[in-house]
Amino acid sequence: MNKTELQSLAREFGTPLFVIDHKVLRESFLQFKKYLPRVQPYYAVKSNPHPEIIRTLYKMGCSFDVASMPEFQVVYENIKHLPAKTRQDFIWDKIIYANPVKATETLEELDRYKILLTYDNIEEVKKIKKHAPNSGLVLRLQVPNTGSVVELSSKFGCPSGEAVDLMLAAADAGLGVEGISFHVGSQCTNFENYIQALNLSSGIFKEAQSRGLDLKLIDIGGGFPAPYSSDVKPFRDLAKKINSEISRLFPKEIEILAEPGRFLAATCATIVAKVIGKADRGGKRSYYINDGIYHTYSGVLCDHIPYQVKAFKNGTTQICSVFGPTCDALDTISLSNELPELAIGDFVYTENIGAYSWASSTCFNGFPPAKVVHLNQ
């Protein structure tokens, strides 16, 4: 984003200001489609559920991965006006409820929508049979998350040895089993994870078919890395590997889904904040800014991304600490951030902060989340 424009927006709207560039969002979506032509992207709403982001992706023909009723509702807002049959087709074809463990109340609400749900254990089969029998089921498999920044396999996914039995159990309960999903861990720069997961899924897929299950889809989850630093290999390199594995392992009629969150949301947003305080602590220059880890920089803690704060000003830099505005010492954005000499009132910014940032912002200590402005909508 243009630095002069960011500063004039900050002057106009105040800070902290979360600037979403919808042109960048559309470009990321098109890039995903271009490099993975056989894969239908289901945007992982959790990464940034802003209704305008959902709206832009909806207009581009994107599908959606939701993991709570409020996330379902934010997508539903876009389709509620459609005729009943078109709306229902959209829900079945273009939404997946990809949270393997769901409260019974949630299942009861979901049942009337006839939606695809993921699951990974037998208790969930019993719950779905009782509370949401009209759903389609997708088994979430445990796969290697080696080297991924956010590890998910310790919380979700059934061991491969139990996979076919869990699918048969669901089918025996009279539920429709549609396919298999996995997640290689978020910000996955070890592309081998995808290769291993695809091969594991293919073996299980074939065994399930040989035991009479008519599986239709593979959902390769999220994990596609955002270019936070220059050592993240290009998306097209990953896509090339995925494309060759899926065409080798899965016949053309098998649908391939993915649930990209970070890849679509990260690069479309920049936060602009303001220096509100300045001190020397332990011989190190420390800046206090009006956004922090309870707010847009929540990803430092929850998402393990070491965001760096940049200055609009030029000048000789030194290693500084950057703290957020709250009274909690945990509210530390970085203890090692190169910055030039800044004055109270100067603006600072961080790019590529669209994913797992605004989404996990709180009102802690009375500080509200950043204001949002939209460019190129």
The footprint of ligand PLP on residues 205-224 (CB under 6 A) is 221-224
**Residue 117 vs 125, nearer CB to ligand PLP:** 117
CB of 209 to ligand PLP, least distance (A): 24
Which residue has its beta carbon closest to ligand PLP?
A: 222
Please choose, from the candidates 123, 115, 142, the residue with its C-alpha nearest in 3D space to the C-alpha of residue 221. 142
Is 373 exposed, middle or buried (CB count within 10 Å of its CB: 0-12, 13-18, 19+)? middle
Judge if the upstream peptide bond of residue 159 is cis by omega within 30 degrees of 0.
no
The footprint of ligand PLP on residues 78-107 (CB under 6 A) is 98
What pairs with residue 39 in β-bridges? 256
Given 268, 302, 327, 363, the catalytic residue: 327
Q: CA dihedral in degrees (58, 145, 219, 33; nearest 10)?
A: 50
Token pair 């979403």 is found at 20
Q: Does 261 bind ligand PLP (CB under 6 A)?
A: yes
- Any idea what the Cα angle at residue 235 is, between residues 232 and 237, rounded to 5°? 95
Site string for ligand PLP, 160-199 (x = CB under 6 A): -----------------------x--x-------------
Q: Does 262 bind ligand PLP (CB under 6 A)?
A: yes
Please choose, from the candidates 199, 91, 195, 98, the residue with its C-alpha nearest in 3D space to the C-alpha of residue 139. 98
- Any idea what the Cα angle at residue 20 is, between residues 229 and 98, rounded to 5°? 80
Is 62 catalytic? The answer is no
What is residue 145's DSSP assignment?
Answer: -
CB of 263 to ligand PLP, least distance (A): 6
CB of 177 to ligand PLP, least distance (A): 18
CB of 257 to ligand PLP, least distance (A): 10
**Residue 182 vs 205, nearer CB to ligand PLP:** 182
The footprint of ligand PLP on residues 240-259 (CB under 6 A) is 259
Q: Does residue 101 contact residue 112 with C-beta atoms inside 8 Å?
A: no
Strands (E), 55-188: 63-66, 95-97, 116-119, 136-141, 176-182
CB of 301 to ligand PLP, least distance (A): 15
**Residue 9 vs 98, nearer CB to ligand PLP:** 98
The structure tokens listed for 95 are 């939404």
Size of the site for ligand PLP (CB under 6 A): 16
**Residue 56 vs 360, nearer CB to ligand PLP:** 360
Report the half-sphere exposure of 166 (CA within 13 A, side-chain side).
26
Q: Does 44 bind ligand PLP (CB under 6 A)?
A: yes
**Residue 194 vs 287, nearer CB to ligand PLP:** 194
CB of 343 to ligand PLP, least distance (A): 37
> What is the rounded distance in angstroms from the CA atom of residue 373 to the CA atom of residue 367?
18
What pairs with residue 294 in β-bridges? none
Active-site annotation, residues: 327
- Chain residues that interact with ligand PLP, rule: CB under 6 A: 44, 47, 65, 98, 152, 183, 186, 221-224, 259-263
